[in-house]
Amino acid sequence: MFLPKRVLEEKIRKFLEEDIGQGDITTSLAVSSGTIVEAEVVAKEAGVVAGVEEAVTLLESLNLQAEALVADGSRIEEKTIIMKIVGDARTLLAAERTLLNLLTRMSGIATTTNRLINKVQDAGHKTRIACTRKVAPGLLYFDKRAVMLGGGDTHRLHMDDLVLIKDNHLAIIGNVADAVKKVRNAVSFSKKIEVEVTDVKEALVAAKAGADIVMFDNFSPQQVKEAVALLEREGFRSKVLIEASGRITERNILEYAATGVDVLSLGELTDSVKALDMSLEVVEVKRK
Amino acid sequence: MFLPKRVLEEKIRKFLEEDIGQGDITTSLAVSSGTIVEAEVVAKEAGVVAGVEEAVTLLESLNLQAEALVADGSRIEEKTIIMKIVGDARTLLAAERTLLNLLTRMSGIATTTNRLINKVQDAGHKTRIACTRKVAPGLLYFDKRAVMLGGGDTHRLHMDDLVLIKDNHLAIIGNVADAVKKVRNAVSFSKKIEVEVTDVKEALVAAKAGADIVMFDNFSPQQVKEAVALLEREGFRSKVLIEASGRITERNILEYAATGVDVLSLGELTDSVKALDMSLEVVEVKRK
Amino acid sequence: MFLPKRVLEEKIRKFLEEDIGQGDITTSLAVSSGTIVEAEVVAKEAGVVAGVEEAVTLLESLNLQAEALVADGSRIEEKTIIMKIVGDARTLLAAERTLLNLLTRMSGIATTTNRLINKVQDAGHKTRIACTRKVAPGLLYFDKRAVMLGGGDTHRLHMDDLVLIKDNHLAIIGNVADAVKKVRNAVSFSKKIEVEVTDVKEALVAAKAGADIVMFDNFSPQQVKEAVALLEREGFRSKVLIEASGRITERNILEYAATGVDVLSLGELTDSVKALDMSLEVVEVKRK
Amino acid sequence: MFLPKRVLEEKIRKFLEEDIGQGDITTSLAVSSGTIVEAEVVAKEAGVVAGVEEAVTLLESLNLQAEALVADGSRIEEKTIIMKIVGDARTLLAAERTLLNLLTRMSGIATTTNRLINKVQDAGHKTRIACTRKVAPGLLYFDKRAVMLGGGDTHRLHMDDLVLIKDNHLAIIGNVADAVKKVRNAVSFSKKIEVEVTDVKEALVAAKAGADIVMFDNFSPQQVKEAVALLEREGFRSKVLIEASGRITERNILEYAATGVDVLSLGELTDSVKALDMSLEVVEVKRK
Amino acid sequence: MFLPKRVLEEKIRKFLEEDIGQGDITTSLAVSSGTIVEAEVVAKEAGVVAGVEEAVTLLESLNLQAEALVADGSRIEEKTIIMKIVGDARTLLAAERTLLNLLTRMSGIATTTNRLINKVQDAGHKTRIACTRKVAPGLLYFDKRAVMLGGGDTHRLHMDDLVLIKDNHLAIIGNVADAVKKVRNAVSFSKKIEVEVTDVKEALVAAKAGADIVMFDNFSPQQVKEAVALLEREGFRSKVLIEASGRITERNILEYAATGVDVLSLGELTDSVKALDMSLEVVEVKRK
Amino acid sequence: MFLPKRVLEEKIRKFLEEDIGQGDITTSLAVSSGTIVEAEVVAKEAGVVAGVEEAVTLLESLNLQAEALVADGSRIEEKTIIMKIVGDARTLLAAERTLLNLLTRMSGIATTTNRLINKVQDAGHKTRIACTRKVAPGLLYFDKRAVMLGGGDTHRLHMDDLVLIKDNHLAIIGNVADAVKKVRNAVSFSKKIEVEVTDVKEALVAAKAGADIVMFDNFSPQQVKEAVALLEREGFRSKVLIEASGRITERNILEYAATGVDVLSLGELTDSVKALDMSLEVVEVKRK
């Protein structure tokens, strides 16, 4: 998920424009034009940082000097200074909230993702932890990238990069086997096909019909275990990736990981984010 | 915060465009053109619903019929059917995730806001509960509106509608009294002036200098109580609104409310949202 | 009303794009690529200059060097050189008209605003002179900022920063007292409430119901004087700001100022602008 | 200058979005959802109306019924009802100011343009009255169209539809004859070439070099008369159109028209507009 | 590649806006407002039609009635009437060129794609014919969709839906095996990995390292045949898809198809398009 | 057709954004951050290059150093190095395809245009070769500019810069003479009027009515010759430009040129483009 800075900047500038409205009236009246300050972004709790590249891109686009002291994806402690900034005070204060909103959201996502991954890996499982498309509207790139920086799998990036036949598709089409075959013939060779199934049998049908990935939706750990075993017995284990989704939480994630499933996906990683607390502090007024 | 539908639609359509990318390849291949379905949006947990107007606006702009069964701001139970939708299956499936992402985020915000307000009111306090500008970037309108629908106060809507002199402004200007006076003379008569203070004395200085609102940042409940008392003694209680912010959580909110402060503002209402779980379910295929 | 340069640049670039269309065909054919010129922006009449920051931002974004010789808000005489510009001739000639259209409009607004303010102040009144939302469509930021640079009050910046209950609202709601109370309970603590009234009694009703500002619309100076007196008698003079609007012109402005009203607002400041004449003159061809 | 409604609507919606900001807070709080009103746009002074099509397009895009009672370009008297509107009260009140700002500016331009044209025609001259590119930034389409509706000539619409070699081009190129020849060879056959000249001799040089149009800039009426005579003597009168520009005002326009020049162009038509006063009045509340 | 109509309309409207500029001056002057016509889009040569959905979407968004007589992807003969249109004459004439430019380009792409596919299939091969990302800038959706409607494979839709390690990546990384392994570990489970190789050995290395697809770039048919045979001998034929690209033309395509390769991709399908000739003809003036 | 770089950059960046989607996943995973490379754009066939300015503008906006070795409009041989580029490897690889798609399309257009012009000039004719508005949607500027760089005439740039009365206009209006006169009176003095005619008589009617340009649509060379002769006999040859369009191909272009017509316009120049083959090659890794 690499974006050239100029492209990234456009996305972020729109957030800034929204937050400013017709202009920052406080700064305009309270801070003299030409004032130069030095400031720091400081973590107020420990976690995994994400959004540093985005923050630096925003600041540089505003002609502020930004020096990142920690890299995206790093683990940080409380009071870690994440970046130092020097430049025009009015501009910095006008951008402060947008900067922090992006950094604290992305870092919050990376922190939670990373904690779940560590939990699963510490228990000796190789299960991938993935997010879904349940992001904050308009923040697809940033939410997905934060998951990636936390060590997670981004899953599909929008609706054009993976065929994912879900419950509502099947409610219309009626038959898993037909649906998969119809799509298999028509879809580009460059795409994988995933099917969401609601019982063990359907999983086998989907695999036989040529699905690359099968997703067990709202299965209990026990059901997942049985489904994995069935696919193994029928010789599809090496041909088909298995994903489980729904009802998976930090509490039960090890039970799911122990089923031998390949991927666990959690909507909560991006739709129920806890921001990682940070603040921007002016540390020196260099010119008034 | 009223927006004409046509204006609202533009904002939401951009979210949809991002989510779709170059096109929904699953629906395109799996669902026949011309298929008409009926579907429902169903709550999977109890809460306060928000985003219904946004959802209906999105659906109608896509030429889908949408009938809301509950109004924005209503309390709903698990399994409540929030809306019924009839129309082109491909279009609906392409819009499903954007629709739900908006509804579940806004409803999550409204639900938490409302719970805190009830807690405070049930304890007999009249304190207003407000959000801040700590929103998801790009979602200022939606996050603020969700707070409002949950019964909360939207606080300033961007940087142009309230003068808010914060710690970083004061770090540059140096002197609260000077800062407030300078701004008071220059600012439009249509704006209020708020000052964030870090100790009790500063609160008095700000009030004397002409601030309309004083915000106590990161004060303990005890400190807030003392500050309120001081302002009262000095005769400013009826002239100045008092806001407390920082460190306020669901656990300690009653202690803060008991201090007699006018407004409590919490960044968490919008930066640490827990989505309210909902799903869209196709309930009938009306034409294939 | 401070905007970071990068945000301001976007607004102005759109004006430029509109004026250029598919390309400047004259410059493309008549001026050789690589030609470097020095040019000046010269005032052709006296006034108060505004738009210099906007002009410099446009020029710098086009990689032209711009040196402002007078600051925004300064009084200038005929033939004053406002700025010197050095750089690519084709680029400068393509931007000339957009540059001048912005500068001459903003300076025209600042000049008229300033003349009215001086007139009022010279007569010993402290009345504020404000504009309204009667701007050229799309130029809200620029028109409001020009008023501010001329010494005027920007009034509300759009529809979200001040509650302003006008005649048409009252035509629907029916009752001033009810309207103000309804809004007072619901509106954010960060906003002021203004009510437009059509007779002296209503002014008192609005003040009693809790309006922060009362606006007398289309009152004669005599009526304004009576209304101010009534509010004073009833003890609301220090609690309520008083604005008069409608029918106020350069000719009668002193009569209105003499009534003791706080604010006089004039739509003409921004909807009937007389541009301040300026021209751009190439003074040296530095490289052909 | 015909634009399909859907294209026109996009332009106007952006003006509305700017004016509304994060939402109309007054209407949202003071007017109940679902209120239906009937309203009228009424002229408060006589003139020539322009912008009716734009207003109707805006209203219809917001799902409001609009019935125009006078056509664009018509002469109207004070108190003329220009259009009747029925629909959602909140939407209408949110759009009121944008609607009026567009209508009053365009009508102001059309009115002045038309008065000048009548003056010239009443004196028996056939001189065309044209505007220039001195418009309000971003309003090229609307300002030019208003001139056209007032009976004026739109002149070039941006920088790509006419070659216009001006003083600054000549300051760089040095020689009128060379400039015209260079351009003549290279420019598309679909374009005319105009040259701005500063003395009578240059006019002849330009004509000889192949200019289609010659513009006399800042000539006195006497100088224009001599220049026209010279071109006639030299046999270019039927081959070359003659435009005069600069210093032309309502006061001296007949002197210029009497010179026999083909076109008089005035920047003031669009850069120093006097809005034609109108208001929107709610006349009936049809449903509350 | 399904897009809701409202989303598709936005893309197409921008094309229309560009083509119109400040307005259609011919139609505005020559055709009376309110004129209603009936028109037809007629093919002037045989081929496969594509872009009908796009054309209808454009027309309906402009409030013109459009009835498609042939479906996207159909084979048509010279003189086939593709659609009938009824509505406002000015609007239709302003949209005519944009409509035809889209239809004739898309149909041209579909026609060529389809001809190549038929040639390959008639010779008894099952080889897929794919396009590349060599599209007209800005037309990714339309060009890819036209290929699909012609029966071709869209290949990746942009840079986020397939990992494709190309020559320039390898020039930097140095080693195919390392590159594939590095990516394999990091990439989302939802993506395939393709590697472009320049000799037969590298193809084997890529397959062993875990590539899902191997692309032979600029191989002769003989070299492709050998590479396919090698992968077969080594047991990778069923695990790895094989694509050949570069130097493939209509003339030699059967030689390439005969090699047993899975996919042939041709940049020419979209970067060297021959438009399918069509015209729009007004057949009846229904109201003047 | 000169555009300031900043304006041009905006157009091109949108193409890049479309091509990248949510991010370049290959480069992100395969190429280390901070890698610096040197690369070249190399022609793989001979032709006339166009798009160099566009390519350099794109690269510089991405902070890549670009040195053009050949100028736009130059004739190049196979293997010519068109430009050298140094900078961040990830950024360059993400921009490669957009860069080449623009360059190869524009160069393809310039090459064909130039070949036709040479053919006509070598045969001793002075006929201008022009394109039409049959461009790829959204590429009006780039396609027209490529024609210009190949030595061709851009014809009108959109619908606002030339009145062109076509067959469909006449189908509505009914009468050539009336149509021309109606337009002649109303149109701005800055515009030319062109009329498309379908027989020799109509050409004379149009000329008499005051058309500046007459276009013979789908005439055979013999018919064109007769029409030119008729206009000459009637004394209109020096007053009216003559254009022929339709059915003109590379094969018969000399027959048309020999008729004495002024302009030959060919839709194929821009609607049936053959891209000029080029590639970007990384030639050195300067830092890993």
Per-residue pLDDT of F261-280, as tens digits, reads 999 999 999 999 999 999 99
Domains with residue ranges and CATH for chain C = 5-116+274-287 (3.90.1170.20), 122-271 (3.20.20.70)
Q: What distance in Å separates the CA atoms of residue C73 and residue C69, rounded to the nearest whole number?
A: 12
Task: Judge contact between F100 and F280, C-beta under 8 A.
Answer: yes
What is the sign of the dihedral through the CA atoms of E191, E196, E200 and E202? negative
pLDDT, average across residues A35-59: 98
Q: Is D63 on the interface with A (CB under 8 A)?
A: no
User: What's residue D255's pLDDT?
Assistant: 97
Contacts of E263 in chain A (CB under 8 A): 189
Contact yes or no for F162 and D262 at CB 8 A:
no
Task: Judge contact between C35 and C287, C-beta under 8 A.
Answer: yes
Q: What is the pLDDT of residues B188-232, one digit of tens each?
A: 999 999 999 988 899 999 999 999 999 999 999 999 999 999 999
> Which residue has tokens 């054309």?
E55
Contact yes or no for D22 and A21 at CB 8 A:
yes
- Tokens representing F128 are 């201008």
User: What's residue D100's pLDDT?
Assistant: 98
Q: What distance in Å separates the CA atoms of residue B139 and residue D139, rounded to the nearest whole number?
A: 30
User: What's residue D93's pLDDT?
Assistant: 97
User: What's residue E7's pLDDT?
Assistant: 96
pLDDT, average across residues A151-167: 96
User: What's residue A258's pLDDT?
Assistant: 97
Confidence class for position A174, pLDDT limits 50, 70, 90: confident
Encoded amino acid at C255, one letter: E
Q: Which residues of chain D have pLDDT under 70?
A: none
User: Is it the case that residue E1 has pLDDT exceeding 90?
Assistant: no
pLDDT, average across residues A75-102: 98
Q: Is the interface score ipTM higher than 0.90?
A: yes
Q: Is C158 on the interface with A (CB under 8 A)?
A: yes
User: Is it the case that residue B1 has pLDDT exceeding 90?
Assistant: no
User: What's residue E287's pLDDT?
Assistant: 85
Q: Which of B9, B40, B217, B277 is catalytic?
A: B217
Q: Give the number of other Cβ atoms within 10 Å of residue C167's Cβ.
A: 16
Nearest to B144 by CA among B105, B116, B95: B105
Q: Give the number of other Cβ atoms within 10 Å of residue E191's Cβ.
A: 27
User: What's residue F62's pLDDT?
Assistant: 98
Angle subtended at Cα C227 by Cα C226 and Cα C232, rounded to the nearest 5 degrees: 100
Residue in B13, B27, B28 nearest the CB of E7: B13
Lowest mean pLDDT among B29-43, C173-187, E44-58, F134-148: C173-187
Q: What is the pLDDT of residues F218-250, one digit of tens each?
A: 999 999 999 999 999 999 999 999 999 999 999
Contact yes or no for C29 and D187 at CB 8 A:
yes
> Which residue has tokens 């946004």?
B54
User: Is it the case that residue C287 has pLDDT exceeding 90?
Assistant: no
Task: Judge contact between F191 and E25, C-beta under 8 A.
Answer: yes
What's the mean pLDDT when you consider all of chain F? 96
Q: Is B23 on the interface with E (CB under 8 A)?
A: yes
Task: Judge contact between F220 and F248, C-beta under 8 A.
Answer: no
- Tokens representing C125 are 């009144």
Confidence class for position B233, pLDDT limits 50, 70, 90: very high
Q: Which of E196, E202, E212, E262 is catalytic?
A: E196
Residue in A15, A108, A134 nearest the CB of B138: A15
Q: What is the pLDDT of residues E206-224, one digit of tens each?
A: 999 999 999 999 999 999 9
The nearest alpha carbon in chain E to F141 belongs to E18
User: What's residue B47's pLDDT?
Assistant: 98
Q: Is E190 on the interface with B (CB under 8 A)?
A: no
Percent of chain F's residues with pLDDT above 70 = 100
Chains that touch E (3 or more CB pairs under 8 A): A, B, C, D, F
User: What's residue E261's pLDDT?
Assistant: 97
Chains that touch C (3 or more CB pairs under 8 A): A, B, D, E, F
Task: Judge contact between A129 and A245, C-beta under 8 A.
Answer: no
Contact yes or no for F194 and D194 at CB 8 A:
no
F134 is catalytic: yes
Q: What distance in Å separates the CA atoms of residue B177 and residue B193, rounded to the nearest whole number?
A: 13
Contacts of C53 in chain A (CB under 8 A): none
DSSP letter for each residue of C82-121: EEEEEEEHHHHHHHHHHHHHHHHHHHHHHHHHHHHHHHHH
> Which residue has tokens 């026209």?
D228
Q: Is B23 on the interface with F (CB under 8 A)?
A: no
Task: Judge contact between C90 and C27, C-beta under 8 A.
Answer: yes
E217 is catalytic: yes
Q: Is E169 on the interface with A (CB under 8 A)?
A: no
A284 is catalytic: no
Contacts of C21 in chain E (CB under 8 A): 21-22
Q: Give the number of other Cβ atoms within 10 Å of residue E119's Cβ.
A: 15
Q: What distance in Å separates the CA atoms of residue A83 and residue A66, rounded to the nearest whole number?
A: 7
Residue in E12, E15, E172 nearest the CB of F285: E172
Instruction: Write phi, then psi, for E248 (nearest 5 degrees).
Output: -85, 130
Q: What is the pLDDT of residues F60-90, one digit of tens each?
A: 999 999 999 999 999 999 999 999 999 999 9
Contact yes or no for E157 and A160 at CB 8 A:
yes
Q: Give the number of other Cβ atoms within 10 Å of residue A167's Cβ.
A: 16
What is the sign of the dihedral through the CA atoms of D134, D139, D144 and D149? negative
Q: What distance in Å separates the CA atoms of residue E188 and residue A162, rounded to the nearest whole number?
A: 11
Q: What distance in Å separates the CA atoms of residue D234 and residue E194, rounded to the nearest whole number?
A: 75
Residue in D21, D137, D272 nearest the CB of C15: D137
